[in-house]
């Protein structure tokens, strides 16, 4: 197999930590790597990001209407142009289902010489909130046809890997978790208290990531704004549709604080400034039911105790390593009960520190990188 790898994404590649980590790992292992992404106004067509070459495909149809039939035309233009631009590569690493047609078409044009690695970041047939069963079945049929052309499949949680094996009758996909690089947490950070005026005696519960529906943000705001004391406070750090709602609650509640999103290079310093990390994703599609979100591993790497709703995969890790608390359900009352339990625990006790240290040595990118490179060696 040749060593030229093209990682295809249908986003602008401005904040895709997983693809960037994969690209850097492959480059450091000796592969010639390019990320092929989608162009947007204000971004360069060619760029080097952390040593990785990036080419963004500028669509002639970009300025057309956003109606669904027209969006399909735009998508087809990307697939055709990206397939043509991939002709000089040996391996196409297709990130998400929407990139897989690029790999399949390009492989067909090369008469099967090119290899395809399909990287399913979600349970792709049911990954975007409540949708009709008809659409789920249609996406499953579409994915089921295309996945047969993949030479290797990787995904992001054990439950999703088992589901792909069962549904499509393929070998169990390799598991490459979206963990951050290993970091020593001995360096003490207290950025939230310094910047937001939070007292030393207050326990900080952190939610970081997209401030959008389905992530539990509304439940956090309800639970913390109604707490009778300010011994436990909520910090929401990120951006999204619910950002204004968080700001409004923060102006009238002594228990809620908002912090703008920070650069990836600064993220773990802020994360380590909290006491407990919150994961309360709502189970409104199977991808969310089986998820292992980025923030879960970021909390672990920063040395935080984790407070999580009853999600399958995070619960398994929390119970195995004894690194946090799982609630019985996903309601604001369940969250409040979990906060009370977390307040009663000393997150800096020796046993807790050792347990979290063991977990972050396992759930780090250096471990996941070896799995990724084994997949490529197997091609």
346 vs 145, residue with greater confidence: 145
Provide the CA 369 distance to its chain's centre, in angstroms: 16
Terminal Cα distance for the chain, rounded:
7
Q: Which CATH class is domain 4-179+365-377?
A: alpha beta
Instruction: Please state, in angstroms and rounded to a whole number, the distance separating the CA atoms of residues 221 and 225.
Output: 6
* CATH no. for 191-362: 3.40.50.2000
Per-residue pLDDT tens over the stretch 265-313: 889 999 999 999 999 999 889 999 999 999 999 999 999 999 999 999 9
The 3-state DSSP class for residue 27 equals helix
Residues of the chain with CATH 3.40.50.2000: 4-179+365-377, 191-362
Least reliable range by pLDDT among 187-191, 309-313, 330-334, 335-339: 187-191
Question: Taking residues 119-132, what's their average pLDDT?
Answer: 87
Instruction: Please state, in angstroms and rounded to a whole number, the distance separating the CA atoms of residues 313 and 292.
Output: 6
What tokens appear for 344 in the block?
Answer: 């009663």
- State the pTM of this model: 0.92
- Run of H or E including 300: helix 294-301
Judge contact between 153 and 170, C-beta under 8 A.
Answer: yes
Least reliable range by pLDDT among 101-110, 163-172, 253-262, 321-330: 321-330
What tokens appear for 251 in the block?
Answer: 């102006």
Q: Would the pLDDT of 68 be above 60?
A: yes
User: How large a percentage of the chain has pLDDT more than 90?
Assistant: 81
What tokens appear for 4 in the block?
Answer: 């030229």
What's the mean per-residue pLDDT of the chain?
Answer: 93
Per-residue pLDDT tens over the stretch 215-270: 999 999 999 999 989 999 999 999 999 999 999 999 999 999 999 999 888 899 99
293 torsion bin: left (phi>0), alpha (psi -120 to 50), beta (else): beta
Predicted pLDDT of residue 369: 98
């Amino acid at each position: 197999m040749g060593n030229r790898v093209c990682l295809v994404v249908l986003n602008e590649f401005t904040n895709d930590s997983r693809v960037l980590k994969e690209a850097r790992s492959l480059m450091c292992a000796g592969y010639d790597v390019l990320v092929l992404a989608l162009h947007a106004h204000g971004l360069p067509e060619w760029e080097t990001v952390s040593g990785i070459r990036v080419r963004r495909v500028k669509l002639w149809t970009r300025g057309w209407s956003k109606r669904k039939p027209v969006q399909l035309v735009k998508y087809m233009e990307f697939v055709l142009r990206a397939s043509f631009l991939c002709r000089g590569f040996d391996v196409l690493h297709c990130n998400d289902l929407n990139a897989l047609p690029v790999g399949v078409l390009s492989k067909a044009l090369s008469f099967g010489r090119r290899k395809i690695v399909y990287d399913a970041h979600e349970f792709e047939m049911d990954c975007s909130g409540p949708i009709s069963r008809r659409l789920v079945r249609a996406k499953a049929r579409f994915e089921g046809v295309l996945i047969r052309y993949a030479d290797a499949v990787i995904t992001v949680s054990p439950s999703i890997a088992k589901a792909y094996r069962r549904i499509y009758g393929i070998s169990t996909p390799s598991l490459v978790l979206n963990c951050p690089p290993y970091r020593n947490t001995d360096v003490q950070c207290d950025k939230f208290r310094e910047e937001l005026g939070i007292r030393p005696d207050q326990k900080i519960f952190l939610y970081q990531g997209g401030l959008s529906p389905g992530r539990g943000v509304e439940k956090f705001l309800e639970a913390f704004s109604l707490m009778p004391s300010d011994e436990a406070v909520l910090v929401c750090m990120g951006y999204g549709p619910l950002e204004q709602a968080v700001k409004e609650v923060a102006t009238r509640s002594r228990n809620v604080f908002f912090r703008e999103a920070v650069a990836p290079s600064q993220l773990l310093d802020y994360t380590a400034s909290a006491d407990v990390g919150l994961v309360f994703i709502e189970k409104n599609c199977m991808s969310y039911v089986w998820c292992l979100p980025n923030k879960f591993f970021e909390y672990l790497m920063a040395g935080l105790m984790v407070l999580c709703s009853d999600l399958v995969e995070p619960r398994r890790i929390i119970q195995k390593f004894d690194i946090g608390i799982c609630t019985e359900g996903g309601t604001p009352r369940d969250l409040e009960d979990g906060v009370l339990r977390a307040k009663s625990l000393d997150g800096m006790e020796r046993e807790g520190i050792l347990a979290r240290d063991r977990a972050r040595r396992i759930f780090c990118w250096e471990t996941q990188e070896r799995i990724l490179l084994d997949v490529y060696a197997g091609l």
